[in-house]
Amino acid sequence: MNSNTTCTLGEFLVATQSEFPYAKGELSALLSSIRLAGKVVNREINKAGIADILGDAGAENIQGEAQMKLDVYADETFTKALRNRGEVCGLASEEHEDFIAFQDNIHANATYVVLMDPLDGSSNIDVNVSVGTIFSIYRRITPVGTPVQLEDFLQPGSKQVAAGYIVYGSSTMLVFTTGHGVNGFTLDPSIGVFILSHPNMQCPPYGNIYSINEGNYVHFPEGVKKYIKYCQELDTASNRPYTSRYIGSLVSDFHRNLIKGGVYIYPTGTKSPKGKLRLLYECNPLAFLIEQAGGKASNGLQRIMDIKPESLHERAPYFVGSTQMVEEAEEFMRKYPS
Ligand code: P6P
């Protein structure tokens, strides 16, 4: 890639296609459909205050959370874009209790399954805070040509072949990995093209930002409480006290920590006994990205991508970001077991 010319996402996919061992262009085509859907969702988000898509849709998703109109729109948009590709045989979404099997003729030889949170943090839309789409891609493990099965989706995060997110913020970025590093593309809205703006993203091994909802302090495990106090103590040698930054939108907090260094923690608590975040389509894809960028992701005790999922929407405690900061927090979890 010539470093002094712009590189579009499409050009990047062509140039790096050979890095993907199975590729005969399927993964590139799949990522292209995510690119398309991301542009469409971005357009709607950017006019949310104008069009009648603010507020909730009057329905609840399977999580029992009020479905925001843009949640539904994003889910429908990504589902349609992925269904229109012959590479995908099934999709699991935060917005649907069961996975969706794609069984039209074009899917007869499909080898990929996609899991996604179509619009994470959507409750922030009405107050103009960044939101994001998170996606995770696996190769199916049941025979090609047969209907996709639940086991195709319940693979550990270590089996992902690609993962990424789109952050709809001050600019719209698509950040993804296929296991060969992490690259970030910024949407140029004047021409509707994603341009390579952050090649080979690396998460600083250390930072001074901790992201956690301290309003839940009383509900946290002892190790997390002790770590929060550690972050707040004065110790100039280790650049403490750290800075607290919590946007309340996972993709935004993750993206900032990926670039600047930092740790995001959503632990178990009496309010969320298993944690709040979803293992399959929130924790695992971001874990793949952070490890590819030199960072770390765990549930406080073990590598998150080693967990064998038992159900589509299972939750997990989540510690993700700069390796040394995640390890600091893990040390407190070991020292003060709940
Ligand atoms: P709380 C949004 O609902 C989300 O899933 C993440 O995007 C965000 O980091 C977290 O929940 C915020 O949860 O309980 O702190 O409001």
CATH number of the domain that 243 lies in? 3.40.190.80
Ligand 1 pocket at CB < 6 A: 120-121, 213, 248-250, 253, 276
In a domain, 142, yes or no: yes
Does one domain contain both 163 and 255? no
Q: Which residue type occupies 48? A: A
Does one domain contain both 229 and 309? yes
Q: How many domains does the chain have?
A: 2
CA of 290 relative to ligand 1 center, distance in Å: 19
Does one domain contain both 191 and 255? no
pTM for this model (two decimals):
0.94
The residue whose C-alpha atom lies closest to atom 1 belonging to ligand 1 is 248
The residue whose C-alpha atom lies closest to atom 15 belonging to ligand 1 is 213
CATH number at residue 180: 3.30.540.10
* Ligand 1 atom nearest to CA at 131: 7
Q: Who's near 35: CB < 8 A, 6+ residues apart? A: 9, 10, 174, 194
Other Cβ atoms less than 10 A from the Cβ of 52: the count is 7
State the residue for tokens 């849709």: 57
Residue of 120, 245, 256, 257 best suited for mutating to test ligand 1, as the one with most atoms within 8 Å of CB: 120
Question: What is the rounded CA–CA span in Å between residue 290 and residue 253?
Answer: 13
For residue 330, the Cα-to-chain-centroid distance in whole angstroms is 21
**How would you classify the pairing of strands 88-93 and 318-321?**
unpaired
| Residue closest to 255 by CA, chosen among 173, 194, 155 | 173
CA of 209 relative to ligand 1 center, distance in Å: 17
DSSP result, 321-336: E-HHHHHHHHHHHHHS
Q: Computed from CA positions of residues 14, 31, 259, 323, in that sequence, does the dihedral angle turn out positive or negative?
A: negative
Does one domain contain both 95 and 76? yes
Q: What is the pLDDT of residue 66?
A: 64
pLDDT tens track, the chain, 338 positions: 455 578 999 999 988 887 776 666 888 889 999 999 999 999 988 875 555 555 566 666 666 666 668 889 999 999 999 999 899 999 999 999 999 999 999 999 999 999 999 999 988 888 889 999 999 999 999 999 999 999 999 999 999 999 999 999 889 999 999 999 999 999 999 999 999 999 999 999 999 999 999 999 999 999 999 999 999 999 999 999 999 999 999 999 999 999 999 999 999 987 789 999 999 999 999 999 999 999 999 999 999 999 999 999 999 999 999 999 999 999 999 999 97
Question: What is the rounded CA–CA span in Å between residue 315 and residue 111?
Answer: 26
Q: What is the pLDDT of residue 1?
A: 47
* Token pair for 178: 């296929």
Residues spanned by the domain of 222: 209-335
For the chain, where are the alpha helices, taking DSSP H only? 9-16, 26-45, 69-83, 150-153, 222-232, 250-260, 284-292, 323-335
Does one domain contain both 159 and 261? no
Compute CA distances 310 → 54, 187, 280, 283, whole Å: 35, 37, 10, 15
Question: What is the rounded CA–CA span in Å between residue 161 and residue 285?
Answer: 10
Question: What is the rounded CA–CA span in Å between residue 160 and residue 134?
Answer: 13
Does one domain contain both 219 and 321? yes
**Is the separation of the CB atoms in 202 and 168 below 8 Å?**
no
Last residue of a domain, one of 198, 225, 256: 198
| Residue closest to 163 by CA, chosen among 180, 176, 179, 181 | 176
